[in-house]
Amino acid sequence: MTDTQNETPALDSVFHALADPTRRAMLARLAEGELRIGELAAPFAMSLAAASKHVRVLEHAGLLERRVAGRTHFCRIQAQPLQAAQAWLNYYSRFWRGRLDTLEALLVAEQEADDRADRQTEKDAGAAHE
C-alpha cells in the first residue's frame, strides 16, 4: 500500500465526483468523445448553470479537461485519476477476496480431510469386502 494519506486528496475528489449519477452519466457520454458544455448538459432535467457546476466538479477532480474555443467550451474525459481509484478498489477488494479465499480454503481443506476420511473408510470397507 503506497500510502493512505498523501494520495488521499485525489481519491477524495475522484470518489466524490463519481458519487453523483449526473456526473457519472456525463463521464459515460464523454467516453465516446469530446462534447460542448451545452451538449453535455442537454440530457439532464436541470438548468445549464447546474450542469456547468457538475462539469466543474469533474474538472477539479481532474476527470475532465476543458478546451475553450471561442465562446464554446469543449470537454474531454481525462481518465488518469480514475486509476488511483481503481488501484484503491483493486487493492482492497483483493485483500477482502483474499480473506474470503482463506476462509474458503479452510472449508475446502476440511472437506478434503472429510473426503479422505470417507475414502479411507470406503477402502477399508472394500478391503473387508474383497
Partner DNA sequence: ATATTATTAAACCATATGGTTTAATAAATG
Partner DNA sequence: CATTTATTAAACCATATGGTTTAATAATAT
List residues binding DNA (CB under 7 A).
Answer: 16, 19-20, 22, 36-39, 45-50, 52-57, 66, 69-74
Q: How far is the CB of 56 from DNA (least distance, A)?
A: 7
**Cα separations (Å) of 24 from 10, 77, 121, 126?**
17, 11, 59, 64
- 79's contact among DNA, a copy of itself, none, with CB below 5 to 8 A by partner kind, is a copy of itself
Could you write out the three-class secondary structure of 73-105? Answer: EEEEECCHHHHHHHHHHHHHHHHHHHHHHHHHH
Near a copy of itself in 53-72, by CB under 8 A: none
Instruction: Report 1-20 residues binding a copy of itself (CB under 8 A).
Output: 1, 4-5, 8, 11-13, 15-16, 18-20
For the record, the C-alpha cell of 127 comes out as 478391503
When CB distances are held under 5 to 8 angstroms depending on the partner's kind, the choice from DNA, a copy of itself, none that residue 128 binds is none
Q: Which helix (H) or strand (E) holds 47?
A: none
